[in-house]
Chains A and B, each alone.
Chain A
Amino acid sequence: MKISFYILWFFLYFFFFASGQDKYERDRQQMVDRQIEARGITNKATLSAMRKVERHRLVPKEQVKNAYQDRPLPIGHGQTISQPYMVAYMTEIIRPGPGMKVLEIGTGSGYQAAVLAEAVDEVYTIEIIESLGKSAEEKLNKLGYDNIYTKVADGFYGWEEHAPFDAIVVTAASEFIPPPLIEQLKEGGKMVIPVGAPFTTQHLMLVEKKKDGKWKTKNLLPVRFVPFTRN
């Protein structure tokens, strides 16, 4: 009797756990199909990464149910986890691929780092707020990412020991671009910076460092606002 009771519990547990996992898997695939691919993201490495990373395991507990919704979510400390589409857009811009080394300034929830880690060889990520940095490190370790290197520090100085980087993603942008970051970007490398108040990323800034060491910035619009459509 006792054994059959345990067996019943065993099956029930796996039934619910597995169906829960199925639900997240289903939500994630739908997210990629409807929110990302449908909006024009075509880079295969990016799409594949977005399909793999378990976003629901990187958001705060109370946001798990919203993890695959088409919007940014609050993660505390006045910070947000970006809208999935924005993460995909930023990842696509740097043209991720094997052999690449990427620096991220502003680990936040760790989601962007995880997506990058699926598409490139090494991701170095820096967070200035200790509690956010530690929490993201713990979650990323649990998810088994061994190519993400985290550190709690001031992102102003970048990560000189591992420079130069093929790309830099500055998710915690400030009023200026720290000169050390420009220096730590490889010639021909790209730096991408989302610009907007929390919950509202409205445009991206792309800095391209040319082969001659010079640079050019470009304003990119993930959501294109076209005035005068009514006329």
Chain B
Amino acid sequence: MGSSFFIRLLFSIGLLSVSMIAYQLSLMQYLSIVQWYHFAYMVIAIALLGFGGAGTFLAVFRKTLIRKIETLLPLFMALSGIFMPLSIWMSGQPFASFDTYLLFVEQKEVWRLLLFELLFFVPFFFCALAIGMIFIKYTGRIGQLYFSNLAGSGLGGLVAIFLFWTASPGQIPFITGVLAILSSGFILPSKKRHWWIGATSLSVITMLFLVLHSPLRLEVSQYKSLSRTLDLPDTKIETSENSPYGWLQYVSSPVLRYAPGLSLSYTGDIPVTDAIFNNGEWAGAVLNSTEDSEILDHTTSALALEIFQPQNILVLNAGTGIRTQYYSRHGVSQIDNVEPHPLISDFSTETVRFGENVQLYQQDARSFLAESRQQYQLISLPDIGTFGGTAGLQAIQEEYLFTTDSFSMIFDRLEKDGMLILKVWMDYPYRNPLKITASFAETLDKKGINDPAEHLVAVRSWNTITYLLKKNPFSDSEIQAVRDFCDRLSFDPLILPGISSAERSKYNSLEDESLFRLTDQLLSGDRKSLYRTYDFNLRPATDDRPYFSQFLKWKNFSRLQELFGDQSASFFELGYLIVGVTFVQSFLLAIILIILPLFLLKRRMKNKSWTLLYFAGIGIGFMFVEIVLIQRFILFLGHPVYSVAAVISAMLLLSGLGSWLSSNLQMGLGGIQKILLIIVGILVLYTFGLPWVLERGMAQGFGVKVFLSLVFIGLPAFFMGMPFPLGLRYLSEKNEQEVPWAWGINGCFSVLSTSLATILAIEAGFSVLIFLGAVAYLITMSSCFIKRRV
């Protein structure tokens, strides 16, 4: 092999890796737009499935593939690139178009989901096949090749973020596809070279043409709010812009109106508004003028201003700025408007400009709370839930602003007589209002307040409840002001010091009194028994389990099915059930695509148990740690995209570096055990210490945070990259025939662990999950002990 060819090979594999990771991240964004964000973890599982399937394919057809490598290598790279946009295009065609919302309505959707996964599997499969062939063919120079692969993967995360800022979601798959096709251009075969050059150039030109003139059309689910809004007459998208925070659309309509939970006593006009959508989901209404915000005077949101006149207000996750406009209209002299999404602020402030009393911060709310030392008279939080309920799609979404840790920080930012205000949409059976009451009660408990009922007020309309939490107990005059407010607008108090049973349903009666009874029980201190006995999970969210909207208790699901019917019960927690379905499907696919073909090899197995324990442990441990780190760094870096990009890139790069270094180490099982012990030690330390470190680091600037992220992600990743190649080398020395099985087992368990990790994080929390990761590595270590003794 000439040095010129080898250099080209290094470029080729590096560029292919860039394109693959950028594609993986863009696929996550694409699926978040056309469906919901739940598929981010499915994409990781599909990528692993592609790599596992390719490993098995390579093991079965190794001789043929290596013999024809000159032709097949560029072909597979090009196919990987072509299938990047093609698989997305096919997934939007009527025969394949899947809709999350119909998963438990139409049986065929289960098969469509399977087809969906298989379509996205194809580009990963071809890419992994090409990389695997290179590694096998040029084993002698594996170190440099491996480094190029990992450096490319690391760079892929940055390229994805660049593309999110500069290209639309319909263009990005073509761009990553072009990069993959170009990677094949470095290593075209010498035979029929002109034909190859022609075919490659034609593919690239076609893709570039499509990028500019016919990007992929995004077939957004008909149940997403963007699709439903665009069905309204004369409603259109005025402008769209992409960013790592999401794909944003500004929509104008003559029939959209904003008056959430309006009092029925109101008889005036209701303002027509525009709206902003992020990834196809409602991000907020945009008022045409600040005066339009006065409509909030006739909703429960007016509660705070009704009983006191704050002079400085913090508005967290301010969205399109309606709450800020409302407070500004009422003459508040200082308002800090904190919104993490830069485009949402930009789009909404183009329509209505804020006055000089408003200070805009483009920052994640938790980071702002960690950094700011200012005290506020009022802190306003975004609404919880949506009108009519959410169908449980938020169940697995991290909501770090609604954890007890977050409420505790907010409490500390309040002035002595300061208040927190929050609106919750009513649901049935009652979940959101009860969980928020429990969260406030626990927060006050943590602050040493014995009687939370003295510090809480809640007012109910027919469809919303607005809560006020006050640092000091409410005064008699404030309590009277709440009563007057309710009488004037026909609302009913739900929580109020000295409340009577009759005044709780004077204007808006409920069919039974369970909401009142359960609310009182949560405030009375007998919370734990209610958490145990209620059919839904009411335990407040914490930073360790930040799933505020997760209510399902699996053991009660059959009761809900009996009561509400199979179909309706599924919509209590659709998001969580989807994770369960993808777990089962990816398990089946892993068996079919990775494990079953290995039986074709018919080889003698001497180290069956050790191979299973060792490589399954590594597969599970690595993915558990990766998922925990992604979750932990969402809060730390302030956004899921940054977290996913940082964790995937840093883990690939540093674990690759570890693998590369380990290839120079002459090490037996004893040496491997020591490395595994280091990993277990780090993970146990992380179980208890990482949250503490990250909490203290949150107040730092973004640059420092990125540096800290690389250190804390890179440290375990470096060591975690070693056991796999060391184990493979050990196995190949003992019995090379078992190596494909080791690949297969590792791939299969990695695929499974992705969905399993999400389920465990919800049920047990991140600390338990990372601890289980340590246990998995401990099992791998134990298998070495057993092997040595045998």
Contact = CB atoms under 8 A, between A and B. Distances in A.
A175 B259 contact: yes
A82 to B, nearest CB: 12
A199 B391 contact: yes
Interface stretch (A1-9, A101-109, A213-221): A213-221
A230 B232 CA distance: 46
Interface stretch (A48-56, A70-78, A137-145): A70-78
A33 to B, nearest CB: 17
B387 A175 contact: yes
Interface stretch (A16-24, A160-168, A200-208): A200-208
A207 B261 CA distance: 14
Given A176-B270, A217-B509, A230-B533, A198 B262 contact: no
Contacts of B390: 197
A225 B386 CA distance: 20
A228 interface: yes
A177 B508 contact: no
A83 B389 CA distance: 18
Interface string B246-281: 000000000101011110101110100000000000
A228 B517 CA distance: 12
Given A128-B232, A156-B257, A199-B567, A78 B222 contact: yes
Interface in A64-122: 70-74, 76-78, 83
Contact of A78 (B223, B512, B514, B535): B223
A188 interface: no
Contacts of A174: 257, 387
A173 B260 CA distance: 12
Interface in B382-410: 386-391
Contacts of B476: none
Contacts of A231: 533
A155 to B, nearest CB: 9
Contacts of A199: 101, 105, 391, 567-568, 571
B264 A218 contact: no
Given A198-B391, A216-B509, A219-B509, A78 B262 contact: no
B565 A70 contact: yes
Interface in B467-508: 507-508
Contacts of B268: 179
B509 A78 contact: no
A200 B391 contact: yes
Contact of A176 (B102, B260, B511, B534): B260
Interface in B559-576: 559, 563-565, 567-568, 571-572
A177 B534 contact: no
A74 B100 CA distance: 13
B231 to A, nearest CB: 5
B105 A225 contact: no
B241 interface: no
B233 A179 contact: no
Interface centre among B221, B223, B428 (most CB of A within 10 A): B428
A25 interface: no
Given A74-B105, A156-B255, A228-B533, A223 B267 contact: no
Contact of A130 (B228, B233, B571): B233
B429 interface: yes
B563 A182 contact: no
Nearest to B462: A217
A71 B567 contact: yes
A183 interface: yes
Contacts of A128: 232-233, 255
Contact of B511 (A74, A177, A195, A220): A220
A139 B270 CA distance: 34
A217 B507 contact: yes
B554 to A, nearest CB: 15
B362 interface: no
A77 B229 CA distance: 10
A12 interface: no
B510 interface: yes
Contacts of A183: 267
A211 interface: no
A141 B755 CA distance: 51
Contacts of A74: 102, 105-106
B183 to A, nearest CB: 41
Nearest to B224: A78
Contact of A177 (B232, B262, B507, B533): B262
A77 B259 contact: no
B463 interface: yes
A106 B270 CA distance: 20
Contacts of B512: 221, 224
A197 B270 contact: no
A76 B428 CA distance: 25
B463 A221 contact: no
Contacts of B567: 71-72, 199
B518 interface: yes
B227 interface: yes
Contacts of B428: 195-196, 202-203, 219, 221, 225
B427 interface: yes
A129 B563 contact: no
Contacts of B102: 74
B463 A175 contact: yes
Contacts of B386: 197
Contacts of A203: 428
Interface string B537-576: 0000000000000000000000100011101100110000
Nearest to A154: B255
Interface string B69-109: 00000000000000000000000000000000110011000
Interface in B262-309: 262, 264, 266-268, 270
A40 interface: no
A175 B228 contact: no
Nearest to A216: B507
Contacts of A216: 507-509
A217 B508 contact: yes
B227 to A, nearest CB: 6
A175 B285 CA distance: 12
A175 B256 CA distance: 11
Contacts of B571: 197, 199-200
B260 A175 contact: yes
B222 A76 contact: yes
Contacts of B534: 227-228
A78 B255 contact: no
B563 A195 contact: no
A231 B427 CA distance: 24
Interface string A171-198: 0011111110011000000000001111
A229 B556 CA distance: 11
A231 B521 CA distance: 16
A197 B100 CA distance: 14
A61 to B, nearest CB: 14
A178 B514 contact: no
A140 to B, nearest CB: 21
Contacts of B568: 71, 199-200, 202, 223
Contact of A205 (B224, B427, B462): B462
A179 B511 contact: no
B511 A129 contact: no
23 contacts: A74-B102, A78-B223, A78-B227, A78-B231, A128-B233, A128-B255, A174-B387, A175-B259, A176-B261, A179-B266, A182-B264, A182-B267, A195-B463, A196-B428, A197-B390, A199-B567, A200-B391, A200-B571, A200-B572, A202-B564, A216-B508, A225-B564, A227-B429
Interface of A: 70-74, 76-78, 83, 128-130, 154, 156, 173-179, 182-183, 195-200, 202-203, 205, 207, 215-221, 223-231
Given A78-B228, A198-B101, A218-B509, 14 more contacts: A73-B105, A74-B106, A76-B222, A77-B222, A78-B227, A129-B232, A195-B387, A197-B390, A199-B105, A199-B391, A217-B507, A217-B508, A221-B428, A227-B518
7 nearest interchain CB pairs? A176-B262, A225-B429, A197-B391, A200-B571, A176-B259, A78-B222, A202-B428
